């Protein structure tokens, strides 16, 4: 019973996923701190403190705190912008520079009989039906 569970947990993809979740949680706290401690005060210094938590309306004694929802939406967009502009965009630029000189791997070959392009794994040409070595 425990042997099967141990084999499942020790598989590479489960361990990789666990490491990814832990690193993702740590990275999430870094991004949240960046937004809370740097971006939000920067916005507050330029346009005033963006705090909507006091906004609410009441229906039959029930309070609807739509200001908290607006705060969450603003926070989401700030975090998404921070991740895009400070992580995704620089990494994409770096990867483009790394792969700039590399030629893409060929995925086709020429048929020796009719010279048409056929997949690398093909054993017979789809155009002239000749056998391809």
| Total domains in the fold of the chain | 2
Q: Has residue 50 got a pLDDT over 70?
A: no
pLDDT in the model for residue 58: 92
Contact 98, 86 (CB under 8 A): no
pLDDT digits (tens, 9 = 90+) for 4-48: 877 777 776 777 788 888 888 998 888 888 887 887 777 777 777
Say yes or no: 37 and 84 in one domain. Answer: yes
Say yes or no: 16 and 47 in one domain. Answer: yes
Least confident of 28-42, 56-70, 114-128: 28-42
Say yes or no: 76 and 114 in one domain. Answer: no
Say yes or no: 7 and 61 in one domain. Answer: yes
Residue 69 contacts by C-beta under 8 Å, 6 or more apart in sequence? none
Say yes or no: 29 and 79 in one domain. Answer: yes
Q: Has residue 49 got a pLDDT over 80?
A: no
Phi/psi region, residue 11 (left: phi>0; alpha: psi -120 to 50; beta: rest), is beta
CA separation for the pair 54, 56 (Å, rounded): 6
Say yes or no: 27 and 91 in one domain. Answer: yes
- Domain extent at residue 112: 106-133
CA separation for the pair 87, 23 (Å, rounded): 15
CATH no. for residue 94? 1.10.1200.120
Q: What is the mean pLDDT of residues 59-73?
A: 87
Kind plus residue range of the DSSP H or E element containing 48: none
Say yes or no: 39 and 74 in one domain. Answer: yes
Alpha helix ranges (H) inside 10-131: 12-34, 40-47, 66-83, 89-98
Q: What is the mean pLDDT of residues 48-70?
A: 83
Say yes or no: 54 and 16 in one domain. Answer: yes
Say yes or no: 58 and 85 in one domain. Answer: yes
Residue 123 contacts by C-beta under 8 Å, 6 or more apart in sequence? 131, 132
Say yes or no: 85 and 69 in one domain. Answer: yes
Q: What is the mean pLDDT of residues 112-124?
A: 86
pLDDT in the model for residue 59: 92
pLDDT in the model for residue 17: 83
């Amino acid at each position: 019973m425990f042997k099967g569970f141990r084999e499942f947990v020790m598989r590479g993809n489960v361990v990789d996923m666990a490491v990814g979740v832990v690193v993702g949680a740590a990275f999430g706290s870094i991004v949240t701190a960046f937004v809370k401690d740097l971006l939000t005060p920067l916005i507050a210094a330029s346009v005033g403190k963006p705090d909507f938590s006091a906004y609410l309306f009441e229906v039959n004694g029930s309070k609807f705190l739509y200001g908290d929802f607006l705060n969450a939406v603003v926070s989401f967009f700030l975090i998404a912008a921070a991740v895009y502009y400070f992580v995704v965009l620089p990494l994409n630029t770096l990867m483009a520079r790394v792969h700039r000189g590399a030629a893409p791997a060929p995925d086709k070959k020429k048929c020796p009989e009719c010279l048409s392009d056929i997949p690398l794994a093909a054993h017979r040409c789809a155009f002239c039906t000749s056998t391809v070595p």
